[in-house]
Amino acid sequence: MSTHATDLPKNAANYAALTPVDFMRRAADVYPNRTAIIHGNIRRTWAQTYARSMQLAHALLDLGVKKGDTVTVMLANTPEMVECHFGVPVIGAMLNTLNTRLDAHSLVYMLDHAQSKVVIVDREYSKVMKEALLNASVKPIVIDVDDSQYDGAGERIGAYEYESLLAKSSSDPIVFTGDEWDAMSLNYTSGTTGEPKGVVYHHRGAYLNAVSNILEWDLPAHPTYLWTLPMFHCNGWCFPWTIAARAGINVCLRKVTPEGVFGAIRDHGVTHFCGAPIVHSMLVNAPEELKKQGMANAKPQANGALVQGMVAGAAPSATLIESMEQLGITLTHVYGLTEVYGPCTICAPQEDWKDLPAAERAVYHARQGVRYHLQADADVIDPVTLQPVPRDGETIGEIVLRGNICMKGYLKNDKATQEAFAGGWFHTGDLGVRYPDGYIKIKDRSKDVIISGGENISSIEIEDVLYKHPAVMAVAVVAKPHAKWGETPCAFVELKPGATATAEDLVKHCKAHLPGFKVPGAIEFGDLPKTSTGKIQKFELRKRSGAVSAIDV
């Protein structure tokens, strides 16, 4: 007999592990006939999508996948990618979504580091994945996905085909029986210092961030969500689980184009989408007739917006905010990193902002904001004392976060995990200030990461490649402002005495070792500014980068 409230135990009646995979089970139970998937001519209900996810889960079990095993996927934003976000973690396996823009060398490292047991690959990416699998130490089971909306080249490289595999599998429900602290997904960082780190998410964090997305956006029941954000990026900022929680519609989109986005808004009544600034800029700069046709049938939501867009990766400019509002699209600015499940702070709009001129309102919207509802804390601290900096909008410190929406840790890297969590905070490496109203704003990026079109690019990685060229003596890579991509890599190169090399030579060299989006878009030759100890002064080069002529890569 319990004599005190603290003696009352948890049991099956009053406790269940938090897991976002359960959101689909509920959607199928409560709204079985509501549309869950739109993809080309495909229309599937929540009951059908749940059944297919369970078929995937049973198929993986039949292939020998066990709790803790890694299932790696190289997929576009297709129904199969949605299904993987439920069918893989429900059996206790870890879902590893790969960036579809990576080269074979990067993929080899990730396959081996993750010890991939199964690889599910879209035919579009078969060439690079085939090369990676040939060079990887692991020899996973390969499953091909032949998407009906893909009409390009590519071969089947696996022993199994996705649809055939599902057709032979049971659709009986599987309920997650693990612990909410169990690993559920693995996402690799961009490798800003050395090899990329494997960020492990747990069920609890994914559940809470998925719910926080609802709270931050006041997401209504049954939204129509367009997949412009890659689902491989931080598990689509947890939105596969968020949309299931609201029994919404996933409108899948293989390739993000103005025609595709405005066509989806016109044809399917899209209400929400996420993306980097380049996606929003692309829409603003689309042909007027396309914009007009796309937005013609959009219906006002509770906040007056026809469509709501979430933006991260860089602060939206005044021009972008104003232009999007004229289209009928309201932007919400969020901030986050791979290690915190995507976004975990939001520039929550205040009532008195809406009456400000667009340029002045943009100053407020440009801030990274305040913590997500279900994130415990966000602050700016002195990196040495770990004490909060004054809330004066001027004193620079490091942006730190803590709470349930933080990764479990880095896979097989205890040292990096301990450093990231030093002092009971997750250290972002981003430098910022905090204003009197508590809002946070980034001032610099301490790791010299270049954000181009929403992709994080390591300047160090590019420098390492350029240093391998026989004519290069010294090199520094910084961000160059770019009207379309936000930023692109700009390389400043000092050649060895007597050596010769052209910008074209170095571009060709980079293309042989890097994915295309990491190749410098501008190169300048000359002596590099250095300190008395020989350290290259990157801050001086950042001042000059805007004047360096762009080259065709």
| pLDDT, tens only, 114-156 | 999 999 999 999 999 999 999 999 999 999 999 989 988 899 9
Q: Which residues lie closer than 8 Å to 46 by C-beta, 6 or more apart?
A: 24, 27, 28, 31, 32, 33, 34, 35, 36, 244, 247
HEC per residue, 94-107: EEEECCCCCCHHHH
Q: Which amino acid is at 77?
A: N
Distance CA 212, CA 208 (A): 6
Residue among 305, 89, 315 at smallest CA distance from 217: 305
* Residue 400 pLDDT exceeds 90: yes
* Better-scored residue on pLDDT, 369 or 354: 369
Instruction: State how far the Cα of 128 lies from the Cα of 411, in Å rounded to an integer.
Output: 24
C-alpha 459/C-alpha 477 separation (Å) is 5
Please determine, for residue 418, whether its predicted confidence score (pLDDT) is greater than 60.
yes
Q: Which residues contact 13 (CB under 8 A, 6 or more apart)?
A: none
Phi, psi of 30 (to 5 degrees): -90, -35
Q: Is the pLDDT of residue 46 over 90?
A: yes
Least confident segment among 56-60, 150-154, 441-445, 481-485 = 441-445
Mean per-residue pLDDT over the chain, rounded = 92
416: its two tokens:
């990096």
Asked if 283 and 326 count as a contact pair (C-beta separation under 8 A), the reply is no
Distance CA 360, CA 173 (A): 53
The burial of 9, by beta-carbon neighbours within 10 Å (0-12 exposed, 13-18 middle, 19 or more buried), is given as: exposed
Measured from the Cβ of residue 319, the count of other Cβ atoms closer than 10 Å reads 13
Compute the CA torsion angle 167, 173, 179, 182 (nearest 10 deg).
Answer: 20
Looking at residue 309, its pLDDT comes to 95
Specify the pTM: 0.85
Residue 84, pLDDT > 90, answer: yes
Token pair, residue 74, equals: 């190289």
Count of CB atoms within 10 A of residue 516's CB?
10
Max CA distance (Å), the chain: 88
pLDDT tens digits, one per residue of 148-193: 899 888 999 999 999 999 999 999 999 999 999 999 999 998 754 4
Q: What percent of the chain has pLDDT over 70?
A: 96
Query: How do beta strands 116-122 and 141-145 pair?
Result: parallel
Select the more confidently predicted residue: 361 or 155: 155
Max mean pLDDT range (8-17, 148-157, 209-218): 209-218
Separation CA 186–CA 85 (nearest Å): 12
Which helix (H) or strand (E) segment is 224 a member of? strand 224-226
Q: What type of residue is 69?
A: D
Mean pLDDT, range 373-378, rounded to an integer:
96
> How confident is residue 455, by pLDDT bands cut at 50, 70 and 90?
confident
**Confidence category of residue 4, pLDDT binned at 50, 70, 90:** confident
Say if residue 533's pLDDT is above 50: no
Task: Please report where in the chains the tokens 């805007």 appear, as a residue.
Answer: 546
What pLDDT band is residue 535 in, cutting at 50, 70 and 90? low
Q: What is the mean pLDDT of residues 272-295?
A: 90
pLDDT range class, residue 233, cuts 50, 70, 90: very high
399-403, 425-429, 519-523, 528-532: which has the minimum mean pLDDT? Answer: 528-532
- Residue 548 confidence (pLDDT) above 90: no
Domains in the chain, please, with CATH? Answer: 43-202 (3.40.50.980), 256-445 (3.40.50.12780), 449-545 (3.30.300.30)
Q: Is residue 154 a contact partner of residue 146, using CB atoms and an 8 Å limit?
A: no
Residue 2 has a pLDDT of 61
pLDDT at 521: 92
| Count of beta carbons in the 10 Å neighbourhood of residue 314 | 20
Model confidence at 269: pLDDT above 70: yes
Q: Which amino acid is at 177?
A: T
